[in-house]
Structure 1
Amino acid sequence: MTHTHAAPRPGPAVRRRSGGRSLFSVSEEWNGATLPALVRADVPGLDLAAWITTNKSTVDELAHRAAAVLFRGFDVPGAAAFQTAMNALSPHVLDYGERSSPRSEVTAGVYTSTEHPADQHIQLHNEQSYTDNWPVRIVFCCELAATSGGRTPLADSRKVLARLRPETVARFEELGVAYVRNYLPGISLSWQEAFQTERGADVDAYCAGAGITAEWLSDTHLRTRQVRPAVRTHPVTGERTWFNHAVFFHVTSLPEEVTRGLLDSLPLADLPYHTYYGDGTPIEDRTLAEVRAALDAETRSFAWQPGDVLLVENMLSAHAREPFEGPRRILTAMADPISDFDTNGRTA
């Protein structure tokens, strides 16, 4: 594999038009942090899609070095402009498959962000790390910022991995993570919504091709189990990264009263989501606490502004959502499935 190693971080750089007028600026350290990097348009009306097309190598280098890039001040008035920017960013914008959260499609490849209640915190996670063909990038666009809260915290997954004890990493690397889901009407997503089909045979075919064990307990109750690695290697940079939903899908990551209610009312095997080591043994409380502490230590955030677009290098940065007040509308799109990359980090 060809590895691209991170270069020393330069200071803020400014590109200028002929005549000396500032067109845009790139800051790899701002707001007291280096995650995300910031690309700011310095003239009104600058088209983001056109800028990305002209500066694709700059975008890729920033994303790989910083793990996420915030584009601010560009002309991105809504879903259509965001979709155009996504098409400039990648030739392969994805549909949302094997769903784990409710979202609505706004336009082709563009969805609302996870539609959980505003008072709930969505914990840090790497998008669809439980699948076998995850998006290498996930991108967000702010149409309307919340009155308060509602940030999208980030955590560098390379640094999270480095904070974990070697013995913890070794155990996860040896065993992987087992994800057990139960699709139960009224409790979790139905299998019809998760797999976007009304036919059980379609689900069976998908699971067979994706390394998922599917068990039909009734016409409305499907249980699935899949084992995935906890540590992955980025296909371009060659860096090892903590890339999984081991903590996110663990029942103890829910609000305490929800965890207690589920455990009081359902057998452990019927929980909507739960995780184990890949051999089926429970993940120890102390290990869950260690991972949560590493995630907390690396968490960074910024306040959204309307028109902001956030590119997250999904294998290098986890993302989350704070609770919020007031209306908030963040759009999202996913791109570059891992299956598009060959062993040298090139896209097919």
Structure 2
Amino acid sequence: MPSPPSSKTFFANKRTAVAASDNGLVRVQRLDDLQVLVKMEPEMEEIDLIQWAAAKRDFLDATLADAGAILFRKFKLKTVEQFQAFVETACGPPLEYKERSSPRSQVSGNVFTSTDYPSDKTIFLHTEQSYNYVFPLRIAFFCVVQAAEGGETPVADTRRILQRLRPETRMRLENQGYLYVRNFGSGIGLSWQEAFQTEDPLEVERHCRGSFIDYEWLSKDRLRTRQRRPVVAHHPSGAKAWFNHMAFFHVSTLEPDIRRQMLENFSEEDLPNNTYYGDGSSIEPEIMDEIRAAYLAERKMFQWQSGDILLLDNVLTAHGRSPFVPPRKVVVAMARSCTWPELAPYDFGTR
């Protein structure tokens, strides 16, 4: 792991920032039991994280390229506005939430609630918006209120997930990619209006053509989309990472009671979400089991504390959510837009 450079950092002093030269202002620690996660804590209470991050942006990028995740703790950030300022300083302007797949509420600017999903349910590990043609390289979470119990945001190293898969599984999926089929308008999940953030079908069609998504209007309010995506990304560091939503959206990943209800109420082609091999054929149950087992074998957990910030390299680190006892408030922001051709040699076809 790279060591912090000996450049300036900053202290908070009422409304002004005072520069000081000191190598020991922030403690950097790779947690023994969480090899995917680096923890950073201030050595002195007066350190202003936003100002410090402005001077250490290259160091933060290098740390993320190595570890994949950074937990900032005890920096005394209290407001969503401070969190947004940190994200903009460390990563760039927060991105809009486009081509949505999960319900989120806007908190401030481009800061949103983490997925609005029942507190007693698990959200499986995934890499944010990897099903999209355009996705964020950075995702950050801010714990405003820690859960009374549970509510962890587990993380997993996608480089190690890829290494856990059998060579024959990797080869087939790297060659074919996967197909994500989505049905809007069934009453389950987001409507196409919410997902694409428009009431105009022509705007939806323009987005789909520009993002290599096949679309089919089944009725005025029912839309079916199909998009083929790679399963592996070539990170700018040179590492290969398992970067996709193949397991997350596959019907077999749903909790048993939800899966049963879905299969009782929908034909396979009408399921709100499902995934296939890139040629459209069904993925064998044992392959899905293998992939989910690889995620879970790499899953690492930590307990949130109010005021924590978790910053992830979205390509190198998957995240999820554990069930919790309310109250819990964790907000999220994304940054650094990237497209699939920048990270994978893949034939997306013609627009």
TM-score normalised by structure 1 residue count: 0.91
Instruction: Report the Cα distance in structure 2 between the residues aligned to 1:212 and 1:82, rounded to whole angstroms.
Output: 34
SS of corresponding position for 1:140? strand
Is 1:218 the counterpart of 2:211 in the alignment?
A: no
Residues 203 and 16 from structure 1, CA distance in 2 versus in 1: closer, same or farther, beyond 3 angstroms?
A: closer
Instruction: Report the Cα distance in structure 1 between the residues aligned to 2:292 and 2:77, rounded to whole angstroms.
Output: 35
Aligned residue number for residue 128 of structure 2: 127
Letter paired with 1:237: S
Matches within 5 A, 1:98-109: 98-109=99-110
Residues 16 and 303 from structure 1, CA distance in 2 versus in 1: closer, same or farther, beyond 3 angstroms?
A: farther
Matches within 5 A, 1:331-346: 331-339=331-339
Deviation at 1:78, TM superposition (A): 1.4
Deviation at 1:21, TM superposition (A): 9.5
Instruction: Report the Cα distance in structure 2 between the residues aligned to 1:14 and 1:147, rounded to whole angstroms.
Output: 40
Deviation at 1:187, TM superposition (A): 1.2
Instruction: Report the Cα distance in structure 2 between the residues aligned to 1:21 and 1:127, rounded to whole angstroms.
Output: 34
Residues 270 and 11 from structure 1, CA distance in 2 versus in 1: closer, same or farther, beyond 3 angstroms?
A: same
Instruction: Report the Cα distance in structure 1 between the residues aligned to 2:2 and 2:108, rounded to whole angstroms.
Output: 38
Instruction: Report the Cα distance in structure 1 between the residues aligned to 2:131 and 2:342, rounded to whole angstroms.
Output: 20
Instruction: Report the Cα distance in structure 1 between the residues aligned to 2:183 and 2:321, rounded to whole angstroms.
Output: 24
Residues 28 and 10 from structure 1, CA distance in 2 versus in 1: closer, same or farther, beyond 3 angstroms?
A: farther
Letter paired with 2:31: E
Matches within 5 A, 1:1-348: 9=1, 22-30=24-32, 32-234=33-235, 236-339=236-339
Deviation at 1:251, TM superposition (A): 0.6
SS of corresponding position for 2:180? strand
Q: For the Cα contact (< 8 Å) 2:142–2:307, is it kept in 1?
A: yes
Percent identity for Structure 1 against Structure 2: 43
Residues 10 and 232 from structure 1, CA distance in 2 versus in 1: closer, same or farther, beyond 3 angstroms?
A: closer
Letter paired with 1:131: N
Instruction: Report the Cα distance in structure 2 between the residues aligned to 1:305 and 1:177, rounded to whole angstroms.
Output: 37
Deviation at 1:115, TM superposition (A): 0.5
After superposition, give the CA deviation of every residue in 1:112-171 in whole Å (9 maximum; x if it has no partner).
000000000000000001011110111100000001100000000000000100100000
After superposition, give the CA deviation of every residue in 1:196-226 in whole Å (9 maximum; x if it has no partner).
0011111011001100011100111110000
SS of corresponding position for 1:142? strand
Structure 1 spans left out of the alignment, 5+ residues:
1-8, 344-348
Deviation at 1:91, TM superposition (A): 2.7
Deviation at 1:188, TM superposition (A): 1.5
Q: How many residues align?
A: 333
Aligned residue number for residue 15 of structure 2: none
SS of corresponding position for 1:338? strand
After superposition, give the CA deviation of every residue in 1:248-300 in whole Å (9 maximum; x if it has no partner).
00011111121111111111110000000010001111111111111111110
Aligned residue number for residue 346 of structure 1: none
After superposition, give the CA deviation of every residue in 1:34-83 in whole Å (9 maximum; x if it has no partner).
22101111222422211110111211111110011111111311110001
Instruction: Report the Cα distance in structure 1 between the residues aligned to 2:23 and 2:292, rounded to whole angstroms.
Output: 46
Q: For the Cα contact (< 8 Å) 1:111–1:331, is it kept in 2?
A: yes
Deviation at 1:184, TM superposition (A): 2.1
SS of corresponding position for 1:94? coil
SS of corresponding position for 2:318? strand
Residues 12 and 295 from structure 1, CA distance in 2 versus in 1: closer, same or farther, beyond 3 angstroms?
A: farther
Letter paired with 2:294: A
In terms of mean alpha carbon deviation, does 156-165 or 12-21 score higher? Answer: 12-21
SS of corresponding position for 2:311? strand
Residues 56 and 309 from structure 1, CA distance in 2 versus in 1: closer, same or farther, beyond 3 angstroms?
A: same
TM-score normalised by structure 2 residue count: 0.90
Residues 85 and 209 from structure 1, CA distance in 2 versus in 1: closer, same or farther, beyond 3 angstroms?
A: same
Q: For the Cα contact (< 8 Å) 2:2–2:62, is it kept in 1?
A: no
After superposition, give the CA deviation of every residue in 1:219-245 in whole Å (9 maximum; x if it has no partner).
1111000000011111x2011110001
Q: For the Cα contact (< 8 Å) 1:153–1:322, is it kept in 2?
A: yes
Instruction: Report the Cα distance in structure 2 between the residues aligned to 1:19 and 1:264, rounded to whole angstroms.
Output: 65
After superposition, give the CA deviation of every residue in 1:286-334 in whole Å (9 maximum; x if it has no partner).
1111111111111101000111111110000100000000210001000
Deviation at 1:13, TM superposition (A): 11
SS of corresponding position for 1:93? coil
Instruction: Report the Cα distance in structure 2 between the residues aligned to 1:21 and 1:43, rounded to whole angstroms.
Output: 12
